[in-house]
Structure 1
């Protein structure tokens, strides 16, 4: 390669990086195109639904949730309703809702969907691998004029994944041409808000997956697509689990009640403000009418004075003449 061409390419790369730093272009934006990953064959949305914990992912400065990330995927028959919870970098609780629907280019491939969320562009969601009961490996990438924004997730049905599943996901992505060195571990576990309800969450997850498998007459898969080993202790929804789930529903209702009360307060304030504005307008109109009446009275008095002045002058002159003649 000619040294001048090589130098020009180096200068262009340097200028691009300088521009990215100067104009605040996000760090996750890279040069290059998206990997052509293969999605999971015969993907089943019903079996994929439920709660997933994000164990590893790629840093995204636009993503508010930084720790304890867990997402409830609710299958609605023709799309997923997503509710994501977690903590931001300050430790504040975050709750976000979004929707995931079929990709128009491949409407029959439910392993390749589109995520629509408020405040961010629609993004692809490709399930590269999953056994539905333990792990999920997801890839997302958007490219534009030689640059790409590439993300991937390793998720588990539990806050800590079973050994070997993370490597299984990374190997699958690597085989599809993805550089998995960008993976970062997400804090999960004892410090997360869900800890007190974790047994209930996992129990609900297990029961949901069992009910779906039963309705489909399928045996659950494990990470290696073999029959899942029977656990030594059967998971049951005990009184404590019911109590925790009831508490979760109660908290959701309290949030809705608070929102309704806030709306009622806002409506009340608006009505009071509207009444105050009307009262002010009424007083203003009354004041204007009063001033107008006073002005008319003054003008009338002045007009009467002006009319009677000549008569008074005549009378005064007549009086003087009479006095002088006497």
Structure 2
């Protein structure tokens, strides 16, 4: 699937080509760091993508730095599907901690594609160039992996994001996106974590935000359904209890805490066993001394009694 180009990228490419022999000129002319040689990756989109299920609140977890994206920290995206396009409300902070609000519209890409696919949209927002938004993987309930790329004359501007329904995601969930990117020739090392959580303005009402988000997810997705796996010999049905996206993050924290507690308990048990062994040996040694002493006294008494009896018998 081809990636879209525009006059914005074409302008930068022409400047880059003209100044390629003079590297200092690249910095002076303000050519973006993300502009590089190469073609866009031929990504595989999420199959049977449903924009209704994708709607709702998402947090930026990781992304490739983009100097044209005003929001740098505490970034949230709220998607609303109208039936024809997706309204996007973005909030966050700049590097100087200034609050930013921005609106955008995402519509299904129809330019230079074999057939329209709702997993391939184009973002149109004021003050920034139109750019592709390609969903390559998502479970709708927890995470999303998104790719964007513009190319022209052998140059590309390549971006990638990991989004979460919560401000943080377990590392194994983020790794799912990284593996997807790697399999498609996209280097996840270019991505950096986005500051989220307690340092953000939204944190005072995070519980309310997540409860509202969970209600929306339940509405568009329904309750969590445990997975069922079948093998050639037996059929196993998962009995795991339903877990929300927020609960999965809490569950990983709990598991880490339990693991640490188990380690501490084991160390305590080892020390107790060692102390018990020391006490046992000490008791045995003490009891041995008492027994030996009693034995010696009994033998001496018997010998003395025998001697007295012999003397008495002789005198008689």
Q: Does 1:176 align with 2:184?
A: yes
Q: Which residue of the partner structure matches residue 268 of structure 2?
A: none
Shift, 1:121, TM fit: 1.5
Q: Does 1:230 align with 2:230?
A: no
Unpaired runs of at least 5, structure 1: 1-10, 236-326
Q: Does 1:54 align with 2:60?
A: yes
Aligned CA distance change for structure 1 residues 42 and 56 (closer, same or farther; 3 Å): same
1:87-140: CA deviations, max 9, x gaps? 101111111100000101456410000000001111000001000000000000
Shift, 1:20, TM fit: 2.0
Distance, in Å, in 1 between the alignment partners of 2:36 and 2:226 is 36
Q: Does 1:109 align with 2:117?
A: yes
Shift, 1:162, TM fit: 2.4
Compute the RMSD of aligned alpha carbons. Answer: 2.7
Verify the 8 A CA contact 1:69 1:86 in the aligned structure 2.
Answer: yes
**Poorly superposed stretches of 4+, deviation over 3 Å:** 11-14, 16-19, 105-108, 218-222, 226-229
Alignment size in residue pairs: 219
Please say which structure displays the higher CA radius of gyration.
1
What pairs up with 1:46-125 in 2 under 5 angstroms?
A: 46-105=52-111, 106=113, 108-125=116-133
Distance, in Å, in 1 between the alignment partners of 2:162 and 2:28 is 33
Q: Does 1:31 align with 2:37?
A: yes
Distance, in Å, in 1 between the alignment partners of 2:63 and 2:141 is 19
Distance, in Å, in 1 between the alignment partners of 2:185 and 2:243 is 36
Q: Does 1:150 align with 2:158?
A: yes
Q: Report the secondary structure of 1:201's partner residue.
A: helix
Q: Which residue of the partner structure matches residue 149 of structure 2?
A: 141
Normalising by structure 2, report the TM-score: 0.64
1:10-34: CA deviations, max 9, x gaps? x999616344223111111111110
Distance, in Å, in 2 between the alignment partners of 1:88 and 1:13 is 30
Normalising by structure 1, report the TM-score: 0.62
1:144-197: CA deviations, max 9, x gaps? 112111110001000011231111101101100101110101100001011111
Q: Report the secondary structure of 2:100's partner residue.
A: strand
Verify the 8 A CA contact 1:137 1:153 in the aligned structure 2.
Answer: yes
Aligned CA distance change for structure 1 residues 98 and 112 (closer, same or farther; 3 Å): same
Distance, in Å, in 1 between the alignment partners of 2:23 and 2:226 is 46
Q: Report the secondary structure of 1:171's partner residue.
A: helix
Q: Which residue of the partner structure matches residue 185 of structure 1?
A: 193
- Which of 140, 146, 150 is equivalent to 1:132? 140
Distance, in Å, in 1 between the alignment partners of 2:134 and 2:226 is 20
Aligned CA distance change for structure 1 residues 23 and 165 (closer, same or farther; 3 Å): same
- Which of 214, 219, 244 is equivalent to 1:206? 214
- Which of 9, 15, 18 is equivalent to 2:21? 15
Distance, in Å, in 1 between the alignment partners of 2:31 and 2:45 is 30
Shift, 1:63, TM fit: 1.1
Q: Report the secondary structure of 2:185's partner residue.
A: coil
Distance, in Å, in 2 between the alignment partners of 1:77 and 1:12 is 45
